[in-house]
């Protein structure tokens, strides 16, 4: 059996066991969760997470160094940011449109139950100002990805300018990259068991009642995620990536399965880069630059949840949102999704920033808390698909650029 099939089987069995624990033996759930499922899941997540910081450093340095022409670096950087921002804005428009159309928040909701300690979301200006680290080693030990990325781009740029003089460092990093990617392969052998345990915990610990009560909200977030995946990414992959979207998703599925089970873009990064380079044939220099950046700042799935949740909460509190409010939601949710770290559940904390921006009560997050774990799994899968779509598109764009350049040279 291929690894992908094994992971899918693990996920399927996880769902079955989760439902069984939830409905048939809820009293046994805490013991099985504490002593069997959670330990297996945690070991798997820690094993892949341990590779994240070294992989980001090595691949971004090599990625940036590989794009030796500063013009090319500028072109790829600009395209990447434009793609990230445009797709996030489209995602939010879809989310707001569907939530306005289907009105998930109209009906009876018990507002007394809504209790959520509104944590202050970090101001986005601080996040942006903090990109420049004063101590790169501190950034690495703290896992501050934006700072690590910034430092690695600087080193990569220096290498590209120094060319042959730092060949030893380049060889060292190349070999380090091979070692890390080899380890990804080894750890992925455990993915079916990790996925099984993580999904059984997520489903077993969920009150089915909570999901039923929130079925409409739940369904609309899923619908918006699906629509974004099929329409936005599907057309980008077909038109600009010159690839059949079904083949693309099939090849990318091992990474999707890991994103789904870990709910963390950042933890999935080693796998999503491995798959993008080996199965989608995206050059290392482009995948190594675009995907780590995307896993940190590009979160369309998270933006979708935030968009639907905001409209849902406004409907529950019977607040009419003006066009200006909706634009504020698009803007703040774009910033909030940029500021969301690629780890489980942070999207929900950042939602408080969006709610506050249009004067909605932050405690209302308590209403959607119960179903967020399952939605987190799905939106994380969408988050990383956006990054891979962008990497594919840029890879194909660069191929075309190189072709037209050599044609121009041949003509002259």
Chain positions contacting ligand ASP, by CB under 6 A: 263-265, 299, 302, 340, 342-347, 376, 379-380, 383
Nearer to ligand ASP by Cβ, of 55 and 73: the residue is: 55
CA–CA separation, 313 vs 327, rounded Å?
16
Nearer to ligand ASP by Cβ, of 62 and 348: the residue is: 348
Least distance from ligand ASP to the Cβ atom of residue 271, Å: 13
Least distance from ligand ASP to the Cβ atom of residue 341, Å: 7
CA–CA separation, 263 vs 259, rounded Å?
5
Least distance from ligand ASP to the Cβ atom of residue 342, Å: 4
Least distance from ligand ASP to the Cβ atom of residue 274, Å: 18
Nearer to ligand ASP by Cβ, of 264 and 352: the residue is: 264
Instruction: Give the residue closest to ligand ASP by C-beta.
Output: 347
**Which position has the token pair 């890390």?**
180
Q: Angle at which helices 145-162 and 70-102 pack, to 10 degrees?
A: 150
Nearer to ligand ASP by Cβ, of 73 and 371: the residue is: 371
Least distance from ligand ASP to the Cβ atom of residue 256, Å: 12
The two three-digit tokens of residue 158, written as one number: 């220096």
Name residues whose C-beta falls within 8 Å of residue 66's C-beta, 6 or more positions apart in sequence.
Answer: 160, 283, 284, 285, 288
Please answer whether residues 98 and 336 qualify as being in contact, where contact means their C-beta atoms are separated by less than 8 angstroms.
no
Nearer to ligand ASP by Cβ, of 285 and 302: the residue is: 302
Least distance from ligand ASP to the Cβ atom of residue 241, Å: 21
Nearer to ligand ASP by Cβ, of 29 and 217: the residue is: 217
Least distance from ligand ASP to the Cβ atom of residue 337, Å: 8
Name residues whose C-beta falls within 8 Å of residue 139's C-beta, 6 or more positions apart in sequence.
Answer: 133, 147, 148, 151
Nearer to ligand ASP by Cβ, of 251 and 302: the residue is: 302
Least distance from ligand ASP to the Cβ atom of residue 318, Å: 27
Least distance from ligand ASP to the Cβ atom of residue 157, Å: 27
Nearer to ligand ASP by Cβ, of 228 and 379: the residue is: 379
Nearer to ligand ASP by Cβ, of 68 and 206: the residue is: 206
């Amino acid at each position: 059996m291929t690894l992908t099939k094994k992971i899918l089987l693990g996920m399927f069995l996880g769902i079955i066991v989760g439902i069984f624990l939830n409905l048939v033996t809820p009293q046994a759930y805490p013991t099985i969760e504490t002593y069997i499922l959670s330990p297996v899941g945690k070991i798997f997540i820690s094993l892949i997470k341990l590779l994240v910081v070294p992989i980001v450093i090595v691949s971004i340095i090599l990625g940036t160094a590989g794009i030796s022409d500063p013009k090319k670096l500028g072109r790829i950087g600009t395209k990447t940011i434009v793609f990230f921002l445009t797709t996030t804005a489209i995602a939010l428009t879809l989310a707001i449109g569907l939530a306005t159309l289907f009105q998930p928040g109209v009906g009876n909701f018990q507002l007394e139950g809504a209790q959520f300690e509104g944590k202050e979301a970090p101001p986005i200006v601080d996040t942006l100002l903090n990109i420049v680290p004063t101590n790169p080693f501190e950034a690495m030990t703290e896992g501050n990805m934006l700072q690590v990325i910034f430092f690695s781009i600087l080193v990569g740029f220096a290498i590209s300018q120094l060319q042959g003089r730092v060949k030893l460092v380049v060889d060292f990093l190349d070999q380090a990259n091979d070692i890390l990617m080899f380890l990804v392969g080894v750890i992925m052998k455990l993915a079916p068991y990790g996925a099984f345990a993580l999904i059984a915990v997520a489903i077993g610990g969920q009150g089915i009642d909570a999901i039923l009560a929130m079925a409409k909200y739940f369904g609309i977030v899923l619908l918006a995620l699906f629509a974004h995946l099929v329409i936005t990414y599907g057309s980008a992959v077909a038109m600009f990536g010159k690839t059949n979207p079904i083949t693309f998703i099939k090849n990318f599925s091992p990474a999707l399965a890991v994103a789904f089970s870990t709910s963390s873009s950042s933890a999935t990064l080693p796998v999503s880069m491995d798959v993008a380079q080996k199965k989608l044939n995206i050059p290392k220099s482009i995948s190594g630059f675009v995907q780590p950046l995307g896993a940190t700042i590009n979160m369309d799935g998270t933006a979708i949840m935030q968009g639907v949740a905001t409209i849902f909460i406004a409907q529950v509190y019977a607040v009419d949102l003006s066009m200006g409010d909706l634009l504020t939601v698009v803007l703040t949710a774009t910033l909030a999704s940029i500021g969301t770290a690629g780890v489980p559940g942070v999207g929900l904390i950042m939602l408080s920033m969006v709610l506050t921006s249009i004067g909605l009560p932050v405690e209302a997050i308590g209403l959607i808390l119960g179903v967020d774990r399952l939605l987190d799994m799905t939106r994380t899968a969408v988050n990383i698909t956006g990054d891979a779509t962008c990497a594919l598109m840029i890879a194909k764009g660069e191929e075309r650029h190189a072709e037209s350049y050599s044609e121009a040279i041949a003509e002259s």
